[in-house]
Amino acid sequence: MRQTVVPAGRGSRVRLEVDYELPGGPLGGLLDAAVVERQTEQEADRSLQKLKELLEG
């Protein structure tokens, strides 16, 4: 996992990159493309939104 924080206007921009590999070879890759990647992105978006809310008060 990589997190990057850079200045952006009057605030900051946070970028989160997560690398992972599901077990199961090609079947795991299909499952990832169909379901897991979308769920992971949604969870990351919620986490970053919560962080923003906490930092901004």
| Residue 5 within any structural domain of the chain | no
- pTM for this prediction: 0.63
Residue of 24, 27, 6 whose CA lies nearest to 15? 6
Q: Is residue 3 part of a domain?
A: no
Residue 49: count of CB within 10 angstroms of its CB: 10
Residue 10 lies in a domain: no
Q: Within a domain: residue 1? A: no
- Segment 7-57, tens digit of pLDDT: 999 888 888 888 877 788 888 888 777 788 888 889 988 988 998 899 887
User: Structural domain of residue 55, as residue ranges?
Assistant: 21-57
Please indicate, yes or no, if residue 48 is contained in any of the structural domains: yes
The pLDDT of residue 34 = 76
Give residue 50's pLDDT: 92
Is 4 domain-assigned?
no
In a domain, 51, yes or no: yes
Number of domains in the chain: 1
Structure tokens at 24: 């199961």
pLDDT of residue 16: 83
